[in-house]
Structure 1
Amino acid sequence: MGIEFLLILLIVIVGFGIYRYFKQRKILKTLSEEEFRQGYRKAQLIDVREPKEFDGGHILGARNIPLSQMRNRLTELRKDQPIYMYCQNGTRTARAAILLNKKGYNELYQLQGGFKKWNGKIRKSKSSQY
């Protein structure tokens, strides 16, 4: 009985991971840097990294709404405009997209490779030592 239970548990975990992967791909469109550049000025540009990371450098024009605060700051985002998001490498953006989609936000985009792959203009906070 123990082996069958572990096998079923493993199948459920893998199945859930596959489900989340495909759901994320359905609700969150990944854009190349060029595609991201073409659209982010007409959208809400959100950096979902933590404030210290944001202060260390962020895309010019981005607002910082960390994933850890997203649920409490949804009123700052409009549902009638696209949301272009990025984090350091894409992991937190995917989690933010799932949360936003559940709350009725539909036009969700992320920067392929995250901030670490961005080659455009950035801004750093003067007090940053990150």
Structure 2
Amino acid sequence: MDTEQIETGTFERWSPDEVEKALTKGEIVVIDVRSPQEYAFEHIEGALLMPMPFFRADRLPTQDGKRVVLHCGSGLRSEKMARIASEAGYDPIAHLEGGFAAWKQAKKPYIGTDFATGGPKKVIS
């Protein structure tokens, strides 16, 4: 995990391995800031959706029991939203470095689309 002190608190960049491990243990909540269409096509299993155009830092879950880790397709949108969350008082705040592309490149499991049925299916690379 890469940690940076910014003006509003602690900003973290998590690797796919760190996110997968913490998600499996139930230690984090993953928030996907991509569009509903991107999420419907493929997403990290268990990730919640809060698309960037509708992002409200004041509506994020509290971090009393679980940390919040944001992600998007490449890491650009989630980093921007994490910085906004930090300005709103979320400290520390984290995002998945490299986004969903890094997740897939690391061969992590996800929910994709079964093109034969149009339904969701678990993809294990």
What TM-score does the superposition give when structure 2 sets the normalisation length? 0.71
Deviations 1:45-66 (A, max 9, x none): 1111010011110001001111
Supply the distance in 2 between the matched residues of 1:105 and 1:89 (Cα, whole angstroms).
22
Q: Specify the alignment match of 1:122 in structure 2.
A: 110
How many residues of Structure 1 are paired with residues of Structure 2 in the alignment?
106
Residue identity matched to 1:117: A
After TM superposition, the structure 1 stretch with the greater mean CA deviation from structure 2, 29-38 or 74-83, is 74-83
Supply the distance in 2 between the matched residues of 1:75 and 1:89 (Cα, whole angstroms).
23
Instruction: Please provide the CA RMSD for this pair.
Output: 2.5
Please give the secondary structure, in 1, of the residue aligned with 2:54.
helix
Q: Which structure is higher in strand share?
A: 2
1 or 2 for the larger relative contact order (CA 8 Å, sep ≥6)?
1
Please give the secondary structure, in 2, of the residue aligned with 1:77.
coil
How do 1:1-130 and structure 2 match up within 5 A? Answer: 23=6, 27-40=10-23, 41-71=26-56, 74-80=58-64, 81-118=66-103, 119-124=107-112, 126=118
Larger radius of gyration: 1
What TM-score does the superposition give when structure 1 sets the normalisation length? 0.69
Gaps of 5+ in 2: 121-125
Runs of 4+ in 1 over 2 A off after TM superposition: 21-24, 73-76, 124-128
Q: Which structure is higher in helix share?
A: 1
Supply the distance in 1 between the matched residues of 2:22 and 2:74 (Cα, whole angstroms).
19
Gaps of 5+ in 1: 1-20
